[in-house]
């Protein structure tokens, strides 16, 4: 059972336009310590601005940690990394080895966490990359993060500190470990929240179980927005059973083709969901990267975890759960706007008129994804 802590302030940040200025401001106010974890760190205008803020912090004596995924961060120029190191930023690469068909190669650092001075943290799905990065895209990439203050901070800080120590140890780059600060953040607001992670040690199913607990207890409405959506059997059944007991279930999914195999694999499940009375909206206005949900107008989550085998079975992920009607209402309103202004509803009648070759390709794609998961050794349960 997920444990919630009271007294937090949790602010919803929509897209990079709200997230990156808040992040730079927090880094510029840092006095002691920064941990930043990200999957992608693109050296575009956004990446350069974040790098510059980290370098400013390091030059004024702030202990500054940057942890990059070895695959997602591979486009960050070596020169940029060395320049940051030259200014005092400590940079580590998570799993730099990318051997094909080796199980460990698929265990990526996908979570996006920033902790500043044990005072403020950011958790969400937004990478360090310009919102307008995709060629031909006019509206910005659609995504969310949260800014957190209050009693939840120690858990987020400890997760970032522990992973940094683990990667340092594994790469034999350990420095003298600083004693973690003893701090007990005072209440900063009135929001009840929880921090959940997924890893391959002690938290293999924490995020999935948090979702399932909320879905299984839903009484009126589930609105789930997810960029890469390929749930396993238990997750699918939970959604279908919720719809069967009269809960309105709404899925807001990626409409544009970003990764062909995963896109069409997701569509293989449309018929099952539509037949169960689940509503499906495809977001076409821009590329959607969101991983959020609202249940019964009170429970909400924002984080990095997709509902697919790669997030739920392989990658390191992090989500914040919120039990608060005000926060849930803000996120619910944002999702409603996205559905109204940037999405197309998928009806059962329209779906059944899909050409046979598209249906066949969807099921072949689904089989291909499941095969890939099986090759890595993770597809044996809950498929």
CATH number of the domain encompassing residue 198:
3.30.870.10
Look at residue 140 in the predicted model and tell me its pLDDT: 86
Domain endpoint, select from 190, 222, 256: 190
Phi-psi region of 41 (alpha: psi -120 to 50; beta: other; left: phi over 0): beta
* pLDDT the model gives residue 358: 76
**Within a domain: residue 173?**
no
User: Are 247 and 260 found together in one domain?
Assistant: yes
Could you tell me if 212 and 327 lie in one domain?
yes
CA nearest to 119, candidates 13, 20, 8: 8
Q: In this structure, are 101 and 200 located in the same domain?
A: no
Q: In this predicted structure, what is the pLDDT of residue 256? A: 87
Tokens standing for 173? 């780059």
pTM of the model: 0.92
Are residues 130 and 274 part of one domain? no
Q: b/e for 347-372, b at 16 or more Cβ within 10 A?
A: eeeebeeeeeeebebbeebbeebbeb
Instruction: Print pLDDT tens along the chain (383 aa).
Output: 688 999 999 999 999 999 999 999 999 999 999 999 999 999 999 999 999 999 999 999 999 999 999 999 999 999 999 999 999 999 999 988 665 555 556 789 999 999 999 899 999 999 999 988 765 556 788 999 999 999 999 999 999 999 999 999 888 766 656 666 666 677 889 999 999 999 988 899 999 999 999 999 999 999 999 999 999 999 999 999 999 999 999 999 998 878 777 877 888 889 899 999 999 999 999 999 999 999 999 999 999 999 998 898 889 999 999 999 999 999 999 999 999 999 999 998 888 777 877 777 776 777 777 766 665 554 444 33
Are both 355 and 208 inside the same structural domain?
yes
Domain extent for 35: 9-168+182-190
Task: Measure CA 101 to chain center.
Answer: 24
Tokens 């559905």 belong to 339
**212 and 186 housed in the same domain:** no
CA distance 251 to 109: 26
Determine the 3-state secondary structure of 295 from DSSP. Answer: strand
90 with 216, same domain: the answer is no
pLDDT of residue 159: 96
* pLDDT tens per residue across span 138-155: 678 899 999 999 999 999
175 part of a folded domain = no
Clarify whether residues 212 and 282 are in a common domain: yes
Structural domain count, the chain: 2
CA distances from 27 to 9, 80, 113, 152 (A): 18, 18, 13, 19
Q: For residue 181, what pLDDT is reported?
A: 67
Distance CA 246, CA 224 (A): 16
Looking at the annotation, which residues are catalytic? 110, 112, 117, 289, 291, 296
3, part of any domain: no
């Amino acid at each position: 059972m997920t444990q919630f802590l009271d007294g937090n302030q949790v602010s919803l940040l929509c897209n990079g336009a709200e997230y990156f200025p808040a992040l730079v401001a927090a880094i510029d106010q840092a006095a002691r310590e920064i941990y930043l974890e990200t999957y992608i760190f693109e050296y575009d205008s956004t990446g350069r601005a974040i790098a510059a803020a980290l370098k400013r912090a390091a030059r004024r004596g702030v202990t500054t940690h940057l942890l990059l995924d070895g695959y997602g961060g591979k486009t960050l120029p070596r020169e940029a990394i060395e320049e940051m190191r030259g200014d005092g930023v400590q940079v580590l690469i998570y799993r730099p080895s990318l051997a094909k068909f080796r199980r460990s190669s698929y265990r990526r650092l996908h979570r996006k966490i920033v902790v500043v001075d044990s005072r403020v943290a950011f958790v969400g799905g937004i990478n360090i990359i310009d919102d307008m990065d995709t060629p031909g895209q006019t509206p910005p990439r659609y995504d969310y993060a949260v800014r957190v203050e209050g009693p939840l901070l120690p858990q987020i800080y400890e997760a970032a500190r522990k992973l940094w120590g683990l990667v340092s140890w594994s790469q034999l780059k350990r420095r003298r470990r600083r004693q973690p600060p003893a701090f007990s953040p005072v209440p900063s607001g009135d929001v009840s929240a929880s921090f959940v992670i997924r890893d391959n040690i002690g938290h293999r199913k924490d995020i999935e179980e948090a979702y399932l607990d909320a879905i299984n207890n839903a009484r009126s409405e589930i609105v789930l927005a997810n960029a890469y959506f390929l749930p396993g059997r238990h997750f699918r059944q939970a959604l279908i059973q919720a719809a069967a007991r009269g809960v309105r279930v709404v899925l807001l999914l990626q409409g544009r083709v970003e990764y062909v195999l995963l896109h069409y694999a997701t569509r293989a499940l449309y018929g099952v969901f539509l037949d169960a009375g689940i509503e499906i909206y495809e977001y076409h206005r821009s590329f959607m990267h969101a991983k959020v949900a609202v249940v019964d107008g009170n429970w909400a989550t924002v984080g990095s975890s997709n509902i697919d085998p790669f997030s739920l079975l392989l990658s390191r992920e992090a989500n914040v759960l919120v039990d608060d009607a005000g926060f849930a209402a803000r996120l619910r309103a944002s999702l409603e706007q996205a559905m109204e202004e940037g999405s197309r509803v998928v009806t059962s009648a329209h779906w059944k008129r899909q050409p046979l070759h598209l249906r066949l390709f969807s099921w072949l794609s689904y089989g291909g994804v499941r095969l890939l998961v099986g090759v890595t050794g993770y597809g044996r349960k809950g498929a």
